[in-house]
């Protein structure tokens, strides 16, 4: 009648103890008694709060903290910037022509001038890392790069390169899994080389007249 079933917030489970506490809470000084009851009930439970930053959180090694760039692998294909749903990857480059060598043709290649990620916009979806065909982007579990100035959250390639030192090594393969394709290809190439007859060093001997 008095709406007691609706008095408790929906987030609390219904039960006899909560009904009693609800009634106690409406008495004079009942709020204090109710608070003390909650304190008594929870003080014996294990604490789940962490004293960060004095105590560092125990994060899984593959946590998505920050994105690292291995610049040497980047071919400026622009795939990551095109696929990023937030458009928060900025890439600038120019072309450089390499002189012809050994009778070949001159070659052009892309030189990376700027690679930046705006972590104020990034939603840590990981699409850029997934789509990079040249293994140039990696997750690092580092997360302590908060800034007072939002502009500082745009990390240029030098800073993204520094994060590479914090990228954990790849996980070991499952012993019962198939060996990686690269390993199989390397073993085949090695076996092929072993079967090939050894060629004598130096120029080929001249034929007898």
With the C-alpha atoms ordered 42, 48, 53, 54, is the resulting torsion angle positive or negative?
positive
User: What are the helix (H) ranges across the chain?
Assistant: 16-25, 30-42, 79-83, 127-131, 157-162, 181-195
Stretch that binds ligand SF4, among 1-9, 14-22, 133-141, 152-160 (CB under 6 A): 133-141
Residue 22 φ then ψ, to 5°: -65, -40
For residue 125, state whether it binds ligand SF4 (rule: CB under 6 A): yes
Tokens for 2? 């008095």
In sequence order, the 6+-apart residues with CB closer than 8 A to the CB of 117 are 67, 88, 89, 90, 154, 155, 160
Nearer to ligand SF4 (CB atom), residue 18 or residue 83: 83
For residue 116, state whether it binds ligand SF4 (rule: CB under 6 A): no
Near ligand SF4 by CB under 6 A: residue from 25, 86, 161, 162: 86
Tell me the closest approach of the beta carbon of residue 120 to ligand SF4, in angstroms.
Answer: 11
User: What number of other Cβ atoms are within 10 A of residue 171's Cβ?
Assistant: 8
Tell me the closest approach of the beta carbon of residue 171 to ligand SF4, in angstroms.
Answer: 20
Choose among 89, 85, 75: nearest CA to 118.
89
Near ligand SF4 by CB under 6 A: residue from 116, 122, 160, 167: 122
Nearer to ligand SF4 (CB atom), residue 37 or residue 127: 127
In sequence order, the 6+-apart residues with CB closer than 8 A to the CB of 97 are 106, 107, 108
For residue 117, state whether it binds ligand SF4 (rule: CB under 6 A): yes
d(CA 70, CA 98): 23
With the C-alpha atoms ordered 43, 45, 48, 51, is the resulting torsion angle positive or negative?
positive
Tell me the closest approach of the beta carbon of residue 130 to ligand SF4, in angstroms.
Answer: 8
For the window 136-175, what string marks contact with ligand SF4 as x by the rule CB under 6 A?
xx--------------------------------------
For the window 19-58, what string marks contact with ligand SF4 as x by the rule CB under 6 A?
----------------------------------------
Nearer to ligand SF4 (CB atom), residue 34 or residue 157: 157
For residue 66, state whether it binds ligand SF4 (rule: CB under 6 A): no
d(CA 81, CA 89): 5
Interface with ligand SF4 (CB under 6 A):
74-80, 84-86, 88-89, 91, 117, 122-128, 132, 134, 136-137
């Amino acid at each position: 009648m008095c709406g007691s079933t609706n008095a408790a917030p929906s987030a609390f489970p219904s039960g006899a103890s909560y009904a009693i506490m609800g009634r106690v809470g409406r008495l004079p000084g009942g709020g204090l008694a109710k608070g003390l009851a909650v304190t008594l009930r929870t003080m014996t439970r294990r604490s789940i709060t962490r004293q960060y930053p004095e105590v560092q959180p125990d994060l899984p090694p593959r946590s998505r903290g920050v994105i690292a760039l291995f610049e040497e692998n980047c071919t400026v294909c622009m795939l990551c910037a095109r696929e990023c749903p937030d458009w928060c990857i900025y890439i600038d480059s120019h072309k450089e022509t390499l002189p012809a060598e050994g009778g070949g043709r001159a070659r052009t290649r892309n030189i990376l001038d700027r690679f930046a990620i705006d972590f104020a916009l990034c939603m840590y979806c990981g699409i850029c890392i997934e789509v990079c065909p040249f293994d140039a982007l990696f997750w690092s579990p580092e997360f302590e790069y908060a800034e007072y100035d939002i502009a500082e959250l745009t990390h240029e390639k030098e800073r993204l390169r520094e994060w590479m030192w914090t990228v954990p090594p790849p996980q070991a393969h499952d012993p019962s899994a198939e060996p990686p394709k690269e390993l199989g290809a390397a073993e085949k190439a090695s076996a092929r080389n072993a079967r090939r007859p050894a060629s004598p060093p130096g120029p080929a001997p001249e034929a007898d007249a």
